[in-house]
Amino acid sequence: MLAVSDFAGREYRGRSPLCRVQGGSACAECRGSEPLLRCPEVENLGPGKVDVCVNLYWVLPDADFRRICGFAALPRPRNIFRRKEEICLKLTRHNGRSGKHGTYNPRHNDRRFDVENSEHIDADRARQNIYWDCYRGFTTHEFRENPEQPDFSFEEIERMFYYEHYGGHVEAQNARNEKTRHTERNRTVEDLLKNNKTCPEETLYQIGTMEQSVPPETLFRIVTEFQEEFDRRFGSHVHIIDWALHLDEATPHIHERHVFDCENRYGELCPQQEKALEELGVPLPKPDKPKGRNNNRKQTFDAICRTLLFDICRRHGLHLDQEPSYGGRDYLEKQDYILMKQKEQLAAQEQKLEELTLKIEDVETLLDDVSDVAYDKAVEVVTDTVRQETHKEDIRLIEDTKKWVLSPERKAPKKERDYAAARLDGVITKIKNAMQHALAKIQRTLMQPEIKQARKEQIKKKAKESIMDKLAKGKISADRKNRERWEREGRIAPEKKNDMEL
């Protein structure tokens, strides 16, 4: 039988299940379907409380097991079995380096922009966000506002990290390029940050959706516990540079950025993902097939991280949907956001329809609104009509006079006739200006509250009579059609007609 102490401090890749122990000694062992052995330090867990291990563990000196893939032989927390009816939440771990606008910018994560202009961000709640970076540890909004504390953006933190760790590699590579006369291949540290092969990878962590999610403190504990384990396992070649817990959007979530690195053949540390994972001993998903887009160590690495997250969530008593979501970048939160917006638009349209229905039912309110609009429109139409007709007649008379003055039959000198025509043009301009002022005065008079109200009441009275008349006629027509239909259906007796005309 395999004992935990036999593998302390070493990697175990056997298929025989092991069980987590309490303390520093092996208190319980298990092979296949054998029951757990009982000892003073361990409670007899009983059947069904231990998951079967199928392949890989990292066994630490203190016998604190951590599974890499498969199902861990770890006792499940007791509160899972006491769980009430719970909603099955979705665990999201989404990775990416770039989008349609290039590599992801960490300014979104540490809110180094005007959040007041962002529709999806609550500016007040943004002050509650929590930030972490590899140089300063945890920071908050209050920390940034403290003038005694040095303030660095995530962008500056990542630049410092890259210069510190990869600056030597960039200089050495550029020197080699110069020796081989290929200076066009020279790069800067900034180029590493902008290249989607060497820039930090960003991971989004979220549990649940906008309708149902875990409290922020639960997400915080789970992710920090995961990152401690992540750093312990992979920290020699995968470095977490910064992360942010966002509480100012629809669902609490964490943006975390990390970089993979290892030494190249010259002994220089440089960012390279696949080589770093190979150094960590992460296998290909299909070791017997060539490495490629659909068979690379990153796939195995992501599966390991997903499994670790599920283990930690179970220890925190969460019930999660373990079916993976497919569709690449279209992860669950985005789809829920679209559905939510559609529901909001539908609700707004239904509210508007209800308001319009109530207005139609309230004839008096409808008449007030209609008469007000009708009066304003009538004033505009009347004054515009007066302007057009008055101008047309006056200007026609003056134009006729102008033609008469300029006619060749006139015996006056041409200079005098031209002067007279110019004066007539001036008269036309003055008439237009005078009429414009007169029309403005008429409009102001007609729009005075007392005059407007009196005219509105007249419009309202006529409109009400017209509406009531149409409603009455419509009711008579509807009653007649209903009666004819009911007679055809046999629901009422046919109406008797008098044979005698009076």
DSSP assignment of 214-252 equals: --HHHHHHHHHHHHHHHHHHHTTTEEEEEEEEE-SSSS-
Domains of the chain, residue spans: 1-75, 87-324, 363-489
Report yes or no: 68 and 309 within 8 Å, Cβ to Cβ: no
> Number of C-alpha atoms within 13 angstroms, CB side, residue 261?
22
Give the whole-angstrom CA distance, residue 213 versus residue 245.
14
Residue written as token pair 């279209």? 330
Amino acid (one-letter) located at 324 = P
The closest alpha carbon to 248, from 111, 74, 420, belongs to 111
Cα separation, 304 vs 72, in Å, equals 12
Q: Give the pair of three-digit tokens for residue 447.
A: 């729009």
Q: Which residues of 453-487 are buried (b: 16+ CB within 10 A; e: fewer)?
A: eebbeebbeebbeeeeeeeeeeeeeeeeeeeeeee
The full DSSP string for 312-341 is: HHHHTT--EE-SPP-STT--HHHHHHHHHH
* CATH number belonging to domain 87-324: 3.30.930.30
Q: From residue 61, how far is each of 6, 11, 18, 21, 26 by CA, in Å?
A: 10, 11, 15, 12, 11
* SS3 state at 75: strand
Helix (H) or strand (E) holding 170: helix 154-179
* Tokens 């939440």 found at: 89
Q: How far apart are CA 244 and CA 247, in angstroms?
A: 10
**DSSP state letter for 208:** B
| Local structure of residue 142 (DSSP, 8 states) | H
- The residue to which tokens 């004033």 are assigned: 379
pLDDT tens across 242-252, in order? 999 999 988 89
Encoded amino acid at 410, one letter: R
Strands in 11-12's sheet, in edge-to-edge order, are 11-12, 56-58, 66-69
Dist. CA 58–CA 14, nearest whole Å: 11
Residue type, 227: Q
pLDDT of residue 69: 36
pLDDT score at 302:
94
Q: Which residues 6+ apart lie within 8 Å of 209 measured at CB?
A: 90, 251, 332, 333, 336
Give pLDDT tens digits for 362-398: 555 555 655 666 656 665 656 666 655 666 667 777 7
Give the tens place of pLDDT for each residue, 476-485.
887 787 777 6
- Distances from the Cα of 253 to the Cαs of 89, 244, 245, 247, 336, in angstroms? 14, 8, 6, 7, 15
Contact 40, 57 (CB under 8 A): no
Give the number of other CB atoms < 10 A from CB of residue 79: 10
How does pLDDT run along the chain (502 residues), one tens digit per residue? 334 344 344 443 343 344 443 343 333 334 343 333 333 333 333 333 333 333 333 333 333 333 333 333 333 333 333 343 456 788 888 899 988 888 999 998 999 888 888 778 888 899 999 999 999 999 998 888 888 888 899 999 999 999 999 999 999 999 999 999 999 999 999 999 999 999 999 999 999 887 788 899 999 999 999 999 999 999 999 999 999 999 998 889 999 999 999 999 999 999 999 999 999 999 999 999 999 989 999 999 999 999 999 999 999 988 887 765 544 444 434 445 555 666 777 777 777 777 666 655 555 555 565 566 665 666 565 666 665 566 666 777 777 777 777 777 777 787 777 777 787 787 778 777 776 766 676 667 666 777 667 666 666 666 656 666 666 777 788 778 777 766 665 555 666 554 444 3
CA distances from 226 to 126, 309, 324, 398, 457 (A): 24, 6, 19, 92, 74
Whether the Cβ atoms of residue 318 and residue 207 lie closer than 8 Å to each other:
yes
Q: With left for phi above 0 and alpha for psi between -120 and 50, is residue 203 left, alpha or beta?
A: beta
